[in-house]
Amino acid sequence: MSRAEHAVTLFEAGANCAQAVRSAFAPLYGVDQGTAMRLAAAFGGGMARTGELCGAVSGALLVIGLRYGPDRPAQQARETCYQVARTFLQRFQESQGALLCRDLLGCEILTPEGRKRVHEQGWIRERCPRFVRCAVELLEELL
């Protein structure tokens, strides 16, 4: 099973989008599955369902930080990390049309009415696996 398929399977099993993306790369960076899930737990739904930055994007940024982020103050490593992150953000936005969860879903999900609407319309089930897959595939190109 590919990492993208693994991430989509995790999402469909109940992981949030950030957890699905982050967890797909956990073994690559020596992080156990439970820790990977906890690290990304608050990022789903555009950061705690606020509709802000897409959770799949947040999960990807966590992975980029693990790969390129400095483990001590080091300007060059930080710049490399930021450059890769900006490239990821640009490519995701070009591919999916937005970076914000509410824009990607076409609905404000912070309110109970908004959450009800996206669930009734099936937008999370229909759209979010595509965002998870895209984030993982872009990461695989950049890492």
pLDDT digits (tens, 9 = 90+) for 38-64: 999 999 999 999 999 999 999 999 999
pLDDT at 75: 75
pTM: 0.93
- pLDDT at 72 (0 to 100): 79
- Bridge partners (DSSP) of residue 53 are 100
DSSP helix/strand/coil, 143: coil
Structure tokens at 14: 């109940």
Residue 53: per-residue pLDDT: 97
Give percent of the chain above pLDDT 90: 81
> What is the 3-class SS of 38-100, one letter each residue?
HHCHHHHHHHCCCCCECHHHHHHHHHHHHHHCCCCCCHHHHHHHHHHHHHHHHHHHHHHCCCE
Q: Virtual CA dihedral for 16, 18, 19, 25, nearest 10 degrees? A: 150
Distance (Å, whole) CA 96 – CA 67: 24
User: Pick from 56, 48, 66, 59: which is nearest to 109 by CA?
Assistant: 48
Give pLDDT tens digits for 61-103. 999 999 998 887 777 778 999 999 999 999 999 999 999 999 9
Q: Which residues does 93 contact at the CB level (< 8 Å), separation at least 6?
A: 99
